[in-house]
Amino acid sequence: MKTTRLGLLSALLIGSFSCTQVFEEDENSIPAHEPKANMEMQVTTHDGAPFTTDESSNKRYYDSPGGPVMMQAFYWDVPAGGTWWNTVKGKLNNWSNQGIGSIWLPPASKAQNGPFSMGYDPMDYFDFGDYNQNGSTETRFGSGAELRSLIGEAHNQNMQVYADIVINHNSGGQLEANPYTGTDTWTKFQPASGKFNRTYNDFHPNLDANNDEGIFGGYPDLSHVKGYVQDWLWKSNESVGKYYKNNVGFDGWRFDYVKGFGGWVVKDWVNHVGGFAVGEMWDGNANTLKWWVDNTDRKASAFDFAAYYAMDRAFDGNNLNELNSDMLWKKDSYRAVTFVANHDTDEIWRKNLAYAYILTHEGYPCVFYKDYEDWLDRGMMDNLLWIHKSYATGNTSILHVDNDEYIMRRNGYNGNPGLVLYINNSDNWQERWIPTNWSSQQIKDYTGHSNWEPWTQGGTWVKIQCPPRSYSIWSTK
């Protein structure tokens, strides 16, 4: 879904669950020989196994200890002219080397605005740049052959490819007399591919239903209760979902505007087609996000908008206590896709802190193309990606939170030591004693922001530091 962008970033920018029980001690309160009892709050969202997008997924795509990272491989208004698929293809080798395990592509099929469309006004689900209709043969992004070549190269690079699927609304139909509205409606679709022809019977209102959960932008609203629509979208062997997966090569789905239809639609889609699925449930309430995930029978993940808005309040609002807010990853880390920005919304300015947060915490992190390729320091991003794939393992213990400081520990898994993240949103260097899982071991800050390399005490306590408006990330040396 595309809405008005809520913020821009310059190139200079380098309810029921709350982790509120944290340490408040300082250096002087911890005798070297007698550490306090471990009182941190643990987030026990799963069994501590390295996160994967699906517990039964092919591990070919998830071969690093920290698990995969997704790249949103587009932004709003990417260059027109049919060059985008080749542009993305040229990035894949570097992305894969840095630890990107999957890419999310924009809606790939022909839309009403043809060569100018970003794809969110779908017209012919089976035209990937192969038919001369709506003003062009190619889509804005390129040809069908170029799309297939991109997906093939992604698989060669050990990456999955997710299709952006818009199934709530259609655009680009012809006028027809509609007996259910008593008016003429733009609901007659006769796409050049010859597949999934539609009439007023396939939209709301119809004989079976006046509406479903939501209508977007006044576009004709597909009626998912209709067997004909279900067959063409996901059930039949010729369906959109099966064609995308079996013919084109997509591995999963990003469902647009899932507020517009029931979670059962995504559940049924995945049951018939398979593949990873994530929904754009645009809601900042973690309980609502969990409710939607549960309504898909946990067949789908959701973008963690609760974490997104909490990070904005914490980092830009100068109050790290907001990181105690409820988030989807705290409720169901296997079904949370965390992010800092996307093609629709870009509110967070202190993105260095936000990426340090999502690339060290549980969940499935998604990196925004513009942030990685254009706006942020590439060395910083590659360092965080390396830390994620090397040490972001195990469940989470939040060690300390106050207005300016946030410290958490990933507890490690299967021999991997895990890590400690220290975020400092103040204007001065900060230091703090913390409990670790490492007894009598030397540790270091793998970001290079601190040159300390202290040894943990026999009782696992150690003092770490963090520069102002920045972060440090610690693990065993």
Residue 201 is assigned to a ligand binding site = no
Q: In 10 A of CB 194, how many CB atoms? A: 10
For residue 293, give the H/E element and its range. helix 286-295
C-alpha distances out from residue 442 to 257, 410, 447, 457, 462, Å: 48, 17, 16, 9, 10
C-alpha 118: how far from its chain's center? 19
* Number of DSSP helices (H) and strands (E) in the chain, helices first: 12, 20
Per DSSP (E only), the strands in 331-457 are 336-339, 364-368, 396-401, 405-410, 419-424, 430-435, 443-445
| CA pair distance 177, 436, nearest whole angstrom | 70
- 164 catalytic residue (yes or no): no
| CA pair distance 288, 316, nearest whole angstrom | 24
Among 360, 358, 378, smallest CA distance to 312 is for 358
Residue 63 is assigned to a ligand binding site = no
Query: Are residues 388 and 363 in contact, defined by beta-carbon separation less than 8 angstroms?
Result: no
- 256 catalytic residue (yes or no): yes
Residue 318 is assigned to a ligand binding site = no
Query: Are residues 200 and 178 in contact, defined by beta-carbon separation less than 8 angstroms?
Result: yes
Partners of 465 in the β-ladder: 431
Q: Which of 256, 283, 304, 322 is catalytic?
A: 256
Block residue for tokens 């790249």: 71
Those residues with Cβ within 8 angstroms of residue 441's Cβ, 6 or more apart along the chain or in another chain: 455, 456, 476, 477
Q: Which of 121, 124, 138, 280 is catalytic?
A: 280
By CB neighbour count within 10 A (0-12 exposed, 13-18 middle, 19+ buried), where does 55 fall? exposed
Per DSSP (E only), the strands in 189-335 are 252-255, 276-279, 301-303
| CA pair distance 149, 154, nearest whole angstrom | 9
- Binding-site residue numbers are 168, 231, 404
> Which residues carry a binding-site annotation for Ca(2+)?
168, 231, 404
Catalytically annotated residues:
256, 280
